[in-house]
Amino acid sequence: MSFWKRTVREWDLAGKTVLLRADYNVPLDNGKITDDYRIQKSLPTIQFLLEQNCKVVICSHLGRPNGKPNPEFSLAPVAERLGELLKKDVAFALDCVGPIAEGAVGQLQNGQVLLLENLRFHPEEESNDDEFGKSLAKLAEVFVQDGFGVVHRAHASTSAVARHIPGIAGLLLEKEVDTITNVMDNPERPLVAIIGGSKISDKIEILNRFIDIADFVAVGGAMANTFLLAEGIDIGKSLAEPSEVSLAKDIIEKARKKSKEQRFVFYLPQDGVVAKSLDKNAHTRIVDWDAHVIATIENYPKNPDRKTGQVEDDELILDIGPFSGAFIAGGMQMANTVIWNGTMGVTETPSVHGPIGPFAHGTDIIVDAMLGEYGHKPFTVVGGGDTAGYVEQRKLVGSFNHVSTGGGASMELMSGKQLPGVEALWNKE
429 residues of the chain, pLDDT tens digit each: 578 999 999 999 999 999 999 999 999 998 899 989 999 999 999 999 999 999 999 999 999 999 999 999 999 999 999 999 999 999 999 999 999 999 999 999 999 999 999 999 999 999 999 999 999 999 999 999 999 999 999 999 999 999 999 999 999 999 999 999 999 999 999 999 999 988 888 888 999 999 999 999 999 999 999 999 999 999 999 999 999 999 999 999 999 999 999 999 999 999 999 999 999 999 999 999 875 333 333 444 445 444 457 899 999 999 999 999 999 999 999 999 999 999 999 998 888 777 788 999 999 999 999 999 988 999 999 986 788 888 888 888 899 999 999 988 999 999 999 999 999 999 997
**Model pLDDT, residue 350:** 86
Within a 10 A sphere around the Cβ of 292, how many other Cβ atoms? 12
Within a 10 A sphere around the Cβ of 253, how many other Cβ atoms? 11
Give 374's DSSP letter. Answer: T
Beta strands in 196-311 (DSSP E): 216-219, 265-267, 271-275, 284-288, 293-296
Got the DSSP string for 6-17? Answer: -BGGGS--TT-E
In contact, 342 and 196? CB cutoff 8 Å:
yes
**Model pLDDT, residue 306:** 45
d(CA 8, CA 167): 10
Decide the pairing of beta strands 265-267 and 216-219. parallel
Q: Which residues are catalytic?
A: 38, 199, 385, 408
User: Strand, coil or helix: what is 137?
Assistant: helix
Q: pTM score, two decimals? A: 0.89
**Model pLDDT, residue 145:** 98
Number of H helices and E strands in the chain, helices first, is 14, 18
CB neighbour list of residue 429: distance below 8 Å, 6 or more residues apart: none
* Helix intervals (H) in 231-321: 245-261
In contact, 123 and 151? CB cutoff 8 Å:
no
Domains and CATH numbers, the chain: 8-176 (3.40.50.1260), 187-414 (3.40.50.1260)
d(CA 154, CA 125): 9
In contact, 366 and 386? CB cutoff 8 Å:
no
Residue 379: strand pairing partners? 337
